[in-house]
Amino acid sequence: MTVFSLFLPVWRLFRWAAILPVILCVLAHPAAAQAQKADRLDATAGWSDTARRAEEALQSGLASSEAFEVLRSELAQQRADADAAAEAGGLAIRLLKAQIETLGPSPGKDQPEPEKAAQRRKALSDALDAAEAPVAAARLASARANVLIEEIDRLIRTRSAEDLMARKPSPLLPSSWKTTATELGKFATRLSEETARYAALNPDEAEIYDNRLIIALGILLGALLLPVGVGHYGLIQLERRVTAPPNTLRFILQAGGVHIMRLVVSLVAVALVIAAVLLAEWGITSTANLSGAILGVTVIFVVASWIGNVLFTPNQPALRLVGLSDGLARTCYWLSIAFATALGMDALVDGATEDYPFSAPATSVLQGISILIGCIVLSGLARVLFAVAREAKVDKDALEDTPFGPGFFVFSGYAIQALAALSIVAASLGYVPLARAGLAPTMLSLTIFGLAFILHHGVMMPVRAAMADRQSSVELVSMLLGILILVVSLPLLAMAWGAREAELGEIWRLIQNGIDFGGVRLSPRVLIVLGGTLAVGVFLTRWVQRVTDRVILPKTQIDSGARNAIKTGLGYVGFILSTVLAISAAGLDLSNLAIIAGALSVGVGFGMQTIVSNFVSGIILLIERPIKEGDWIEVSGFSGTVRKIAVRSTRIETFDRHDVIIPNADLIAGTVKNMTLSSQIGRMILPIGIAYGSDVERATTIMLEVANDHSGVLSYPQPQVFFRNFGNNALDFELRCFLRDVGTEISVRSDLLYALNAALAAAGIEIPFAQSDVTIRNLDQILAQVSGKGQGKEQETLPADSPQPAA
C-alpha cells in the first residue's frame, strides 16, 4: 500500500459527489427494485456463477490483483447474503421442529396413528424438508465462498511478497537519470498539450479556464497568507497568554481552545487548497491521481503541523505534552514537518506514476528520491532519540510519566538508523519496493501514536482535574484508556504497514462470528452481554449486602458474628446467581463443556484438594459459627482476635498487632480454644503468697474486698480465695474471680495486683520473696588455692581424697 492510496478515496469522494444524486435516483427507480427482487429469487444461481468464475480465475492465475480484489468483494457480499439467508431460514426450521416435537415421537410399524395426526405430521415433515433445502444451499454457498476467499487472499499475499522482492534498475545508474529527465519532459509536454487541446476544442470556455486558474492561484496565495501566516502567528500570541496553573479547569479551557482554534485554522487552509485544486483541474484529466496526491500532501502537512504544535509547542512550555527542553522541542516540531515532507514526496511520486506510464528506470529514480528523503528524515529522528536519552540521564524526572527509560530511546535510535541504512543499500541494489516497505509505514505509525497520545492526554486532563485527590484511581483510568485507544489504533497501524481492507474486514468478521471453544461460541456480543450482566449482578449483590449490613441487621437482635455470616452468605449467593444469569443472558450452552470439565475435574481435584478443603471449611465456619469475627481464640499456637473469615482462610490479629493467616481447614479439623464463643465472661486466677506467721483470715478478707471493689469483676459468681499450699517461702493462696469481659484480663490483673500490694502493706502483711542459705565446706583450702600458697602441680589441685565443697 502506498501513501497516496490512503488519500485516494477522499479525492474520489470529491470527484463523484456531483453525480451522487443521479445514482440515488437510479437506485430508487421501480425497475431497480424489481431487479433486486429478481436477484433475490435467483440468489442461488448467482452465488454459483460467481463461485464458478472465481474458480476459473484461480485455476488460470492470469487475472490481475485488482480483478481478484473485485471478485473477492463479490464473494464476500454473497457469503454475507448466504449467511443471512441461512439464519433467516433457521427460524422457520426451528418452528417446524418444535411443532413436530409437540406431536410426540412417531409410532412404530405395528402401532397405528390417528389419521389427522398422521396428516399433520406429514405436512410438517414436507414443510420442514422444503425449508431446509434453501438453508442447506445457502450454507453450502457460504462454505464455498469462504474457501475461495481464503485462496484469493493467499494468492494476493503471494503476489505482494513477490512484488516486494522484485529487483528493478538501480536509481544510481546514469542511464536511469537520463531516462527520468526525458520522461518528465514528456509528461510536462503532455499536460501542456492537453491544456491547449481543451482550450482549442472549447474556445468559449478558454477565458473561463484562465479565470479559474487565476482564481485558484489567488486562493492558494490567500491560504498561505491568512490561515497559514496570520493565523499561525496569531495562535502563537494566544499560546503565550496561557498562564493558568496546570490541571485546572481554566488551564483546560485555555489549552483546549488554542489547540481547537489551530485545528480549525488548519482545516480552513485545507479547504482552500481543495478548492484551488478543483478549479485548476478544470478540463485536465491526466492529473487525476496527481491532484489527489496534492490533496493528500496538504492534509499530511496540516496534520503534521498540528501534531507537532500540540505535542511539542515550541513557543509555550506550559502547553507542551512531552516534557522536553525548549531546544529539543523545537527540533521535534521541525522533525514533524520533515515527516510531512517525506510522506508528501512519496505521495506525489505515487500520484505521478499512476497518471503517466513511467518506465522502470524512471520509476526507480523517482522512488529513490523519495527513499533518500525518508532516510534523511529517519536519521534526524534517530539523533533526536539519542538527545532525548541524554536529557533523561541528566534529568531523572524527564521521563517520569512514560513507561520507557533512556535505554529504550537509545535502542530505538539505533534501530531506526539501521532501517535507514538498509533502505539505502536495498535501493542502491535495485530493490526499490523493499526499500520503501519500511520508511513510510514507520513515519505513519509514529503519526498514529502521536494522535493516540494527544487523544489520551486530552481525555485525561479533565479526569485528572476532577479526581485530583484519588491518584490511584486516576492511574487506573489512564491505563484502561490507553489500552482502549491502542486497540482502536490497531487497524490503522495494520493499514499503515500494508494490510488490505479486505483482510481487516475478514478479521472483523471472524471476531463478530466469535471463536468456537468446546462448542461454545465466544463473540464480542456474547462477551459484552456476559460482562455487563455479571457487572450488574455484582453491583446489585454489593448493594444488597450494604443495605442488609447497615439498615436491616442493626435493627435485629442478631450478634455481630451472625451478621457477618449473613452478609458473606448473601455475597456468595449473589455471585453465583450473577454468574448463572450472565451465562443464560449471553446464550451460552455449557453442556458441551461437560466432558472437558469432567476430564479436568480429576486432575484439578487432586491439585486443588487443599484449596477446596479450605473453601468448604470456610462455608462450614459461616454456617456453624464455632468462631466469629471479634472472638478471642487460640489455635496452632497463636492467640488473638478474629478479624476476618474469608473463603480460604481466617485472619487473626494477635495482641502484638501481628496478623496471622490460618487456613480454614485447621479451624475445622484442629483443636481451637474460643474464649468468647458463648459470652464475654471469663475466669481469672491470681496466685498470691503471704509470709509465714501472717493473719490468714485478715489476708483472705482483704483479697475478697479488693476483688469486689473492682468494676471489672462480677459479683456473681462471687470471688473466692483458696488456701492452696504451704510453700517453701510463703503461704500460697489463689484469688479466683469472673470478669465481665475476658478481653480485659491483663488490665484487671494489673489493677488487682496494685490494690493488693497497697492493702496488704497497710495491714502489715508481708509478701515474701524467695531466700536460700548456702554452706561452703573446706573454705580454708579453697582460700589457700585462690591466694596461690600451694606450689607445684600437686598443690594447684585439691587432693583426690579431700572432701569436695558443697552448697
- pTM value is 0.65
* Torsional sign, CA 231, 233, 235, 241: negative
pLDDT at 598: 62
What is the C-alpha to C-alpha distance for residues 329 and 200, in angstroms, rounded to an integer?
54
pLDDT higher than threshold 90 for residue 738: yes
* Helix, strand, coil share (%) of the chain residues, nearest 5: 70, 5, 20
Half-sphere exposure in the Cβ direction for 81 (13 Å, CA): 19
pLDDT higher than threshold 60 for residue 141: yes
What is the C-alpha to C-alpha distance for residues 369 and 176, in angstroms, rounded to an integer?
12
Of the pLDDT bands very low, low, confident and very high (cuts 50, 70, 90), residue 85 is confident
Of the pLDDT bands very low, low, confident and very high (cuts 50, 70, 90), residue 15 is very low
Average confidence (pLDDT) over 545-572: 80
Position with higher pLDDT, 260 vs 685: 685
Half-sphere exposure in the Cβ direction for 768 (13 Å, CA): 17
pLDDT higher than threshold 90 for residue 687: yes
What is the C-alpha to C-alpha distance for residues 30 and 368, in angstroms, rounded to an integer?
54
pLDDT at 110: 66
| Alpha helix ranges (H) inside 104-114 | none
pLDDT at 589: 63
pLDDT at 438: 85
Buried b / exposed e over 152-184, threshold 16 CB at 10 Å, is bbebbeeeeeeeeeeebbbbeeeebeebbeebb
pLDDT higher than threshold 50 for residue 11: no
Average confidence (pLDDT) over 3-32: 41
Measured at the CA of 644, the angle between CA 683 and CA 655, to 5 degrees, comes to 45
Average confidence (pLDDT) over 340-368: 87
Position with higher pLDDT, 54 vs 243: 54
What is the C-alpha to C-alpha distance for residues 28 and 17, in angstroms, rounded to an integer?
18
pLDDT higher than threshold 90 for residue 260: no
What is the C-alpha to C-alpha distance for residues 640 and 5, in angstroms, rounded to an integer?
73
pLDDT at 17: 39
What is the C-alpha to C-alpha distance for residues 548 and 90, in angstroms, rounded to an integer?
47
Q: pLDDT (tens digit, 9 = 90+) per residue, 707-727?
A: 999 999 998 889 999 999 998
Least confident of 269-278, 583-592, 598-607: 598-607
Least confident of 134-148, 208-222, 765-779: 208-222
Instruction: Tell me the range of 292-301, 390-399, 688-697 where mean pLDDT is highest.
Output: 688-697
What is the C-alpha to C-alpha distance for residues 94 and 92, in angstroms, rounded to an integer?
5
Least confident of 428-432, 555-559, 667-671: 555-559
Take residue 744 and report the three cell numbers written for it: 480485659
Which residue has 539505533 as its cell numbers? 414
Average confidence (pLDDT) over 196-220: 61
Q: To 10 degrees, the CA torsion angle through 79, 83, 89, 90? A: 150
At position 375, the amino acid (one-letter code) is C
Selection from 166, 176, 159, 162 nearest residue 430 by Cα: 166
pLDDT higher than threshold 70 for residue 704: yes
CB-neighbour burial class of residue 582 (10 A; exposed 0-12, middle 13-18, buried 19+): buried
CB-neighbour burial class of residue 141 (10 A; exposed 0-12, middle 13-18, buried 19+): buried
Average confidence (pLDDT) over 600-623: 71
pLDDT higher than threshold 90 for residue 422: yes
Write the DSSP symbol of residue 803: P
Contact 61, 96 (CB under 8 A): no
pLDDT at 795: 46
At position 775, the amino acid (one-letter code) is T
What is the C-alpha to C-alpha distance for residues 362 and 538, in angstroms, rounded to an integer?
67
pLDDT at 227: 62
Contact 633, 652 (CB under 8 A): yes
pLDDT higher than threshold 70 for residue 117: yes
Average confidence (pLDDT) over 490-501: 86
User: What average pLDDT does the structure give for the chain?
Assistant: 78
pLDDT at 737: 94
Which residue has 497463636 as its cell numbers? 638
List of long-range contacts for 597-601, beta carbons under 8 Å, 24+ apart: none
Q: Could you tell me where the beta strands, DSSP code E, fall in 659-705? A: 659-663, 673-674, 682-690
**Could you give the angle at which helices 3-16 and 288-312 cross, rounded to 10 degrees?**
120
How long a stretch of residues is the chain?
807
Q: pLDDT (tens digit, 9 = 90+) per residue, 631-672?
A: 888 888 888 888 888 877 889 998 888 889 988 888 888 888
pLDDT higher than threshold 70 for residue 195: no
pLDDT at 287: 67
Least confident of 55-59, 451-455, 624-628, 786-790: 786-790
What is the C-alpha to C-alpha distance for residues 746 and 727, in angstroms, rounded to an integer?
26
Average confidence (pLDDT) over 387-413: 74
Which residue has 481543451 as its cell numbers? 198
3-class state of residue 712 by DSSP: coil
Position with higher pLDDT, 490 vs 647: 490
Of the pLDDT bands very low, low, confident and very high (cuts 50, 70, 90), residue 265 is confident
pLDDT at 14: 40
Average confidence (pLDDT) over 422-437: 90
Compute φ and ψ for 377, nearest 5 degrees: -65, -40
Contact 663, 614 (CB under 8 A): yes
Selection from 259, 302, 288, 392 nearest residue 8 by Cα: 288
* Torsional sign, CA 317, 320, 323, 329: negative
Position with higher pLDDT, 256 vs 732: 732
Take residue 506 and report the three cell numbers written for it: 475478514
Selection from 231, 296, 236, 239 nearest residue 270 by Cα: 296
pLDDT at 282: 52
Q: What percent of the chain has pLDDT over 70?
A: 80
DSSP string, 435-485: HHTTHHHHHHHHHHHHHHHHHHHHHHHHHHHHTTT-HHHHHHHHHHHHHHH
pLDDT at 698: 92
792 Cβ contact list (under 8 Å, min separation 6): none
What is the C-alpha to C-alpha distance for residues 103 and 109, in angstroms, rounded to an integer?
17
| Alpha helix ranges (H) inside 202-287 | 203-223, 231-240, 249-280
What is the C-alpha to C-alpha distance for residues 416 and 411, in angstroms, rounded to an integer?
9
Of the pLDDT bands very low, low, confident and very high (cuts 50, 70, 90), residue 35 is very low
Write the DSSP symbol of residue 713: B
What is the C-alpha to C-alpha distance for residues 532 and 538, in angstroms, rounded to an integer?
10
Helix H or strand E encompassing 736: strand 731-739
Q: Pairing relation of β-strands 649-654 and 515-517?
A: unpaired
pLDDT higher than threshold 70 for residue 398: no
What is the C-alpha to C-alpha distance for residues 569 and 559, in angstroms, rounded to an integer?
15
